[in-house]
Amino acid sequence: MSIKNAYFAGGCFWGVEYYFNKEDGVLDALSGFMGGHLENPTYQDICYKDTGHLEVVEVTYDSEKISYENLAKLFFEIHNPTQSNGQGPDIGSQYLSAVFVSNEEEKEIVKGLIKKLEHNGFNIVTKILKKQTFYKAEEYHQYYYQKTGKTPYCHSYTKRF
């Protein structure tokens, strides 16, 4: 087993976490924050202060069962990578689309997928950012849809590749 982490911001972390946790080869997906200037931010901080954080999901996966490229493809298919002001009805800077890459290989994979999507007519606004410190969100955000029995309201699967 080869355990790795990947970091995706695609709007409200509940829906992103929901879809990644269903994927074979994903060991866990946790909701949290990345990309801002405040250490140990809370959900209240990122919603009501200008911390610069995005809602991010940390995906822990077995790279022998699923590739980073397949995770990134799933990311582009479970949110709208063309929406520049948030995701669905969730509007705001914490809901922007971004991939936080850990190395040059991940960056090239994401750039290649964006190029394919743009070739197919999509105007992709997803940012590629360097991985920063991941701050796990409060416990009540973890596995939200699993706990509540609800389904995502601003995420759905759309085949794009």
Element (H, E) at 60: strand 54-62
Q: pLDDT tens digits, residue range 104-145?
A: 999 999 999 999 999 999 999 999 999 999 999 999 999 999
Q: Is 61 helix (H, G, I), strand (E, B) or coil?
A: strand
> Position 135: which residue type?
Y
In this predicted model, what pLDDT tens digit does every residue of 77-105 receive, in sequence order? 999 999 999 998 999 999 999 999 999 99
Chain segment 23-56, per-residue pLDDT in tens: 999 999 999 999 999 999 999 999 999 899 999 9
What is the side-by-side order of every strand in the sheet holding 127-130? 127-130, 97-101, 3-10, 54-62, 26-34, 135-136
What does the angle CA 151 – CA 86 – CA 61 come to, to the nearest 5 degrees? Answer: 60
Domain locations along the chain: 3-148
Place of tokens 């060991």: 27
> What digits encode the pLDDT tens for the residues 5-29?
999 999 999 999 999 999 999 999 9
Q: What is the pTM of this model?
A: 0.97
Q: Per the structure block, which two tokens stand in for 51?
A: 């911390």
Contacts of 63 (CB under 8 A, 6+ apart): 2, 3, 4
Residues catalogued as catalytic: 12
Q: What are phi and psi of 58, to 5 degrees?
A: -90, 115
Please tell me the distance from the alpha carbon of residue 52 to that of residue 159, in angstroms, as a whole number.
Answer: 31
**CATH of segment(s) 3-148:** 3.30.1060.10
Pairing verdict, β 86-87 and 54-62: unpaired
